[in-house]
Structure 1
Amino acid sequence: MQRDSEYQKLLQTLKTTDIAAFEHLEEEIDIVYHKLKFIPAESRPRVTLVSNVRDLSQDFNALTQEALEIAGGTWQSSADIHNAEKIIVVQQDEQLYADLPLVLQEDGVAQSPAIANNEIYIVQQEVIENTSSAGFLRQVEVFAEIVQSKYFVYGHNGQEWVQFDLR
């Protein structure tokens, strides 16, 4: 895995502007790397992150994609959602709860391992929108709790994200 170019840019910026934030972010991300270092890339779940459930779009910056990968997931394009082992949907409004069941029944999505294994998650939009160093760390923590739940518990479940139970 590439050592996160956008993350490295963020670190370099912090190193010159806020050394305390730099040290904190680097230390916390290193802990995540350390916990996941023995999980090979081929064993990491394929995760599709969706910004708009109505059209299955993925309007995310590169730093959000890297946050997901640092957290132990493998980025999956929404075009390949039928192969996703986990699907994470960003909640933009309350309409999501009406739209999501309909979208999950569509052919490509309904056949995915994520549906078969009840691995659908909803993340609050504020988690994705915050691009500060603290916001990036929160993204990594939220994604880690979802993607590698055996290894990470930060306490964001129920506040920043929830599992959408299909059963």
Structure 2
Amino acid sequence: MLRRNFIAARDLEAELEQWQERIDIIRHKLKFIRQLPGVACIEQLNPPGTAGGRIPALVEIAGGTAIASEENGLLFPPDIVILMLPGKSIEESLREIGSLLEQPWFAESPALKNNRIYVTDCREYFQLPGPGMIDSLEILAEIINAGDFHFGFEGLGWIKFESGSPKNG
């Protein structure tokens, strides 16, 4: 006998309402921001590749402008670099960050100059539909709008990579 688990419609509606509330909190806080930082969500190191699919839309909702990659780098110098290697934990991604630091486009990026480099846990986040996407959105909001959002994901879903570069501001 085939047995399936079903979610009651009212339970799903309540969950969807919670997701919308979480999105609305971010949108409300960001509605007066005029200049959105350029965000490169790096999911491939050699050659450099930026995340596609839902990620650029999540970046936009979180208060940034997603920067696409081209053959030998990025279309624009990023203000923020987020390393999000598919299926990799923060620790695993940190072991590969040397490849990012060696990229020619990276040396002159505002992200490096302003120490805005982050590493995410893509084993637990950014790959999952449903509630996982809302968590991913909140992670991006915390990163892109440093100090303005505190959803509790720092250290768990992402960390700031300290490049040793002097801060400008």
Q: State the TM-score bracket (shorter-chain normalisation).
A: 0.7 to 0.9
Return closer, same or farther for 1:96/1:24 CA change in 2, 3 Å cut-off.
Answer: closer
Partner of 1:97: 94
- Structure 1 runs not aligned, ≥5 long: 1-14
User: Percent of aligned positions with the same letter in both sequences?
Assistant: 29
Taking the aligned partners of 1:73 and 1:101, their CA distance within structure 2 comes to 25
Counterpart selection for 2:66 from 65, 75, 78: 75
| Cα pair 1:47 1:73 within 8 Å, conserved | yes
Deviations 1:55-84 (A, max 9, x none): 3223431x2221111111111113326510
Partner of 1:54: 46
TM-score, normalisation: structure 1: 0.80
SS at 2:159 equivalent: strand
Taking the aligned partners of 2:55 and 2:162, their CA distance within structure 1 comes to 24
The offset of 1:146, in angstroms, is 0.2
Deviations 1:112-144 (A, max 9, x none): 100111111001112111111x11110110000
Higher helix share: 1
Q: RMSD value over aligned CA atoms?
A: 2.1
Partner of 1:27: 21
TM-score, normalisation: structure 2: 0.79
Partner of 1:143: 140
- Where has structure 1 moved over 4 Å in runs of 4 or more? none
Partner of 1:127: 125
Counterpart selection for 1:45 from 15, 37, 42: 37
